[in-house]
């Protein structure tokens, strides 16, 4: 799969998220930021951190990072999908750290948690979609009877050093020996009665 176009989409989306989160704010931000933002341990335990804010703001913080998780999971090799979750966490940590000294931005532990939740949801969407796709392909191959034969898929490759192993097609395999005729059939007809 050519991941270059997907990488360009991911870069464009990351730039849009950065612009929305750390770019110049056209509005005046008044919030409940504890001094030091996410760097202050008191911010993580302060009631104002977890009890203030609108549901729409929380939902937006999750939703804006779902595509981050999806794109990261699609760009990172399948077996390393947990790295996509870490990429989402790292991206939001960078954003929140840049927001700490900004007077028009609020660095908030709740934002960090909600953004990371969105990235994790995006990764899980990709992992589940791949699992459903794989299950569908397996089910389709079972219903069509298109299971690979020994001669097609299981033949050892030459680069593994199995050149001396001969694999015969299933059709050419020897069949069972014919059954012997019953003893009465060997007796002549004039003696049988």
Measure the CA angle with vertex 99, ends 63 and 39; round to 5°.
Answer: 100
Higher pLDDT: 186 or 81? It is 81
Dist CA 94 CA 53 (whole Å): 22
Residue spans per domain, the chain: 4-144
Question: What predicted TM-score, i.e. pTM, was given to this entire model?
Answer: 0.65
Which two structure tokens, joined as six digits, stand for 176?
């069972």
Segment 120-135, tens digit of pLDDT = 999 999 999 998 988 8
Segment 59-72, tens digit of pLDDT = 999 999 999 999 99
Segment 137-169, tens digit of pLDDT = 888 888 776 555 545 555 555 444 444 445 555
Dist CA 145 CA 135 (whole Å): 15
């Amino acid at each position: 799969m050519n991941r270059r176009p997907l990488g360009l989409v991911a870069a464009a989306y990351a730039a849009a998220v950065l612009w929305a989160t750390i770019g110049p704010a056209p509005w005046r931000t008044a919030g409940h930021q504890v001094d030091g933002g996410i760097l202050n341990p008191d911010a993580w335990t302060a009631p104002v951190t977890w009890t203030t804010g609108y549901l729409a703001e929380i939902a937006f913080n999750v939703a804006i990072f779902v595509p981050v998780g999806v794109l990261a999971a699609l760009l990172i090799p399948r077996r390393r999908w947990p790295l996509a979750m870490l990429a989402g966490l790292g991206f939001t940590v960078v954003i929140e750290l840049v927001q700490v000294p900004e007077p028009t931005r609020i660095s908030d532990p709740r934002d960090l948690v909600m953004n990371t939740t969105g990235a994790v949801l995006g990764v899980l969407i990709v992992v589940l979609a791949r699992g459903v796709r794989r299950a569908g392909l397996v089910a389709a191959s079972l219903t069509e009877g298109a299971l690979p034969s020994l001669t097609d898929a299981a033949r050892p490759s030459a680069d593994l050093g199995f050149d001396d192993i001969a694999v015969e097609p299933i059709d050419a395999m020897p069949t069972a020996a014919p059954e012997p005729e019953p003893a009465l059939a060997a007796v002549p007809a004039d003696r049988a009665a």
